[in-house]
Structure 1
Amino acid sequence: MSFLLETCIILLAVLVAGRLSQRLGQPAVLGQLLVGVLFGPAVLGWLHPGPLISEVAEIGVVLLMFIAGLETQFEDIKRNALAATLVAVLGVALPFVGGWLLSSGWGFDSPTAIFTGVLLVATSVSISAQTLKELGYLRSRPGVTILAAAVLDDVLGIIVLSVVLGSLGASGGGGHGAEPLPLLLGKMAGFFAVAIVVGYTLLPAVMRRVARMESGLPLLTVAISVALAFAWAAEFTGLAGIIGSYLVGLMLSLTELREKIMHEVEHIAYAFFVPFFFANVGLSATFAGMAGSFLVFVIVLVLVAVATKIVGCGAGALLARFPLREATGVGVGMMARGEVGLIVATIGLDAGLLPPELYTGMVFVSLGTTLLTPPLLKMVFRARPGDQEQALPASE
């Protein structure tokens, strides 16, 4: 099928599926995520994973997190720094131990079992951010904590991945594990330092100058370019690209151009790029080889992936004095593995630590946790009168 026809199918299918999902009382993002499963190899076989769809999808998720950063207030992040740290630390420790013990008990060798624990550490909050945005909770205390904890989770996850690859004598792709840990930590620290300084001092002046031009298009062009550049810089230092785009969005949220930039970027992002991200999530799903005891293992692995994030991150939120409902919501918001989980799985496959069948299992863990996130978030954060309009409370 030509890319032009694939593009037409993806854009229209994601639009219709989102509206249908809302009519059924679910977040629009749930229906949009199912498009890839329905039209991909798992069911109809009309669409297939490919470099073009994947690359456009990557731009989509970068812009999605850029918008989430623009909608977040930096003061909210500061107020919830302790809560985010507790959520991130426990949200890494418990899934790692859970995945390790499950694989060991199922008979996998020690290196594979340890790496399975690493797989469950990953978190991708792009779907959670979109769902919280739909529900009106993106700027709530749980929403801000989820986004802040995701940044720390990614750093901790990369550290765990690097330590495991180094201790097992393996080397993954993308620079992970091939460098000494101190050098990797130095690069990440350098990225955050430079990104914050540039984003806080230089970038606002540049954007104001661009905004004074007669046409509004230069502002849109520069904003998207900046988001992509920061995403690339994050990937270069070993972090996920979405961390870079979220961070620059957060920096630009401090300027008076926040609303204008967000309005401009949302149009092109949701009209074209973001639908590719939603569709691409499900395109890797296939039921080949999913039978017998391995199918049971994958189901249990999905359940462990869900439970350890909800319990671990939820416990961190409880320690930060969140009410039980909000703490549960934080755990649910952190449980999706998404594209981050697949990236880590690919590194393990290339390093020889992950057998092909377990890689397939991780595809279903990534897909399953991602598909479960929107409906579970809606169950936890079901709108009550006044909930969505309450001011963000200060941390205890």
Structure 2
Amino acid sequence: MFAIFCLVIAALIGGWLVTKVNLPAVIGQMLAGLLLGPSLLNLSLPMDWLHLASELGVWLLMYEAGLAVDAAALKANFSIANRVAWLGAFVPFGVFWAIELWLHQTLLIASFSGLVFAATSISITLAVLGTHHQLGSRIGSIILGAAIIDDMIAILGLTAVTFVTSGAGVNLTNFLPLIWFILGFISRRVTRLATINHHLITAATWTVIPLFFAGIGAQINVATLIPMFGPLIIWTLIAVATKMLGAYIASKWSGLSNLTAAAIGSGMVARGEMALVILTAGLASQLITTSQFTFYTAVVTLTTVLAPLIMEPLFKRLR
């Protein structure tokens, strides 16, 4: 438990430090886990406890996302958000599916890879939009709505893949992040729960949420990534370009300006908690190897780092 405590403290410090350079706290939290894990200090961590805390962190992240949703703004922009979500998911899914097949991977692995990069991070999207005071704006509602739909697509896709690999039917645990999101969305409308929600999210922000991101970082061994540096950069660039392209085309199709379409595209770039949930499920079911998990997680992390850097100049021009 002392190791878990150290990981939480390191994650909080790391998250605080990166916010000083206008990056989302989750990046610093993952880097903290990276430093304490096998990449550097190789701190011995109780993985069972870490997994349990991380699961709770994911659920509360989704609950927080549900609390943040403005139902009226989401409804008003649903049509555009729906286009952005589907095209923004279809383009990266199709491209990575084709790449994996070209690399002689199985159809199942190709579909799994497409799912990982079809997802969009709601929590990271929320953090960056909040930084630019865009959460209540039209563009913020479109990006958030599209991110929510993307995650629903990813959850349904993961359930389908799990069904094929296990033959055990629908795995209801895959729907838990979505269920927690819905619970958050509903509880926002219950005034009596406002104080409880505030304390719950505050406690989670200081404990299990940073622990989730730090735990992901702690599972990465940088030494194993060095031989894959070239492919890592290429995959990251493809992940960024495909998500931006799909969202940009959908936004232009909806009649938005070039600048607004580009800003929406940049807001969809970050993969985060949902991609990591998919990867964790893939590793647990032995669909992917530890090496593949590390590689995919590194790509997801890099998209998370790059997203706010891409968004910054575009959102400044929108002010």
Q: TM-score, normalised by structure 2?
A: 0.83
* Structure 1 unaligned spans of 5+: 185-234, 388-396
Contact 1:33 1:371 (C-alpha < 8 Å) held by counterparts:
no
Aligned residues: 319
Q: Which residue type is aligned with residue 47 of structure 2?
A: G
CA 163–296 in structure 1, closer or farther in 2 if over 3 Å, else same: same
Aligned to 1:201: none
SS at match of 1:290: helix
Contact 1:302 1:369 (C-alpha < 8 Å) held by counterparts:
yes
Q: 1:129: Cα distance to partner? A: 2.0
CA 350–64 in structure 1, closer or farther in 2 if over 3 Å, else same: closer
CA 270–109 in structure 1, closer or farther in 2 if over 3 Å, else same: closer
Separation in 1 of the partners of 2:258 and 2:177?
29
Say whether residues 1:6 and 2:4 are aligned partners.
yes
Aligned to 2:74: 77
Separation in 1 of the partners of 2:201 and 2:24?
18
Q: 1:347: Cα distance to partner? A: 4.9
Aligned to 2:137: 140
Say whether residues 1:308 and 2:242 are aligned partners.
yes
Contact 1:49 1:283 (C-alpha < 8 Å) held by counterparts:
no
Aligned to 1:282: 217
Aligned-residue identity in percent: 31
Separation in 2 of the partners of 1:244 and 1:348?
20
Aligned to 2:172: 236
Say whether residues 1:341 and 2:275 are aligned partners.
yes
Separation in 1 of the partners of 2:26 and 2:162?
35
Q: 1:270: Cα distance to partner? A: 2.0
**Structure 2 matches for 1:31-180, cutoff 5 A?**
31-46=28-43, 48=45, 50-161=47-158, 170-172=164-166, 178-179=168-169
Aligned to 1:253: 188
Say whether residues 1:317 and 2:231 are aligned partners.
no
Separation in 2 of the partners of 1:376 and 1:47?
36
Q: 1:260: Cα distance to partner? A: 3.1
Contact 2:283 2:290 (C-alpha < 8 Å) held by counterparts:
yes
Separation in 2 of the partners of 1:281 and 1:355?
15
Contact 2:244 2:268 (C-alpha < 8 Å) held by counterparts:
yes
* Structure 2 unaligned spans of 5+: none
Which residue among 345, 349, 358 is the counterpart of 2:292?
A: 358
SS at match of 2:224: coil
SS at match of 2:225: coil
Contact 2:272 2:300 (C-alpha < 8 Å) held by counterparts:
yes
Separation in 2 of the partners of 1:257 and 1:280?
34
Q: 1:164: Cα distance to partner? A: 6.0
Q: 1:287: Cα distance to partner? A: 2.5
Q: 1:250: Cα distance to partner? A: 1.7
Contact 2:4 2:46 (C-alpha < 8 Å) held by counterparts:
no
Q: Hey, which of these two has a bigger chunk of helix by percent?
A: 2
Q: Deviations over 1:257-287 (max 9, x none)?
A: 4653443333322232222123123122112
Contact 1:49 1:280 (C-alpha < 8 Å) held by counterparts:
no
Q: Which residue type is aligned with residue 126 of structure 2?
A: A
Q: Deviations over 1:30-50 (max 9, x none)?
A: 323321222222233236471
CA 54–142 in structure 1, closer or farther in 2 if over 3 Å, else same: farther
Q: Which residue type is aligned with residue 285 of structure 1?
A: I
CA 328–260 in structure 1, closer or farther in 2 if over 3 Å, else same: farther
SS at match of 1:381: helix
Q: Deviations over 1:283-304 (max 9, x none)?
A: 2211243354x44333322222
Structure having the higher Rg: 1
Separation in 2 of the partners of 1:270 and 1:164?
31
Query: Please, which moves more after superposition, 340-349 or 265-274?
Result: 340-349
Q: Which residue type is aligned with residue 34 of structure 2?
A: V
Q: TM-score, normalised by structure 1?
A: 0.69
Q: 1:89: Cα distance to partner? A: 0.8
Aligned to 2:13: 16
Q: 1:142: Cα distance to partner? A: 2.9
Separation in 1 of the partners of 2:283 and 2:209?
28
Aligned to 2:201: 266
Q: 1:99: Cα distance to partner? A: 0.4
Contact 2:26 2:210 (C-alpha < 8 Å) held by counterparts:
no
CA 26–113 in structure 1, closer or farther in 2 if over 3 Å, else same: closer
Contact 1:333 1:373 (C-alpha < 8 Å) held by counterparts:
yes
Contact 2:3 2:45 (C-alpha < 8 Å) held by counterparts:
no
Say whether residues 1:297 and 2:294 are aligned partners.
no
Q: Which residue type is aligned with residue 321 of structure 1?
A: G
**Structure 2 matches for 1:189-208, cutoff 5 A?**
none
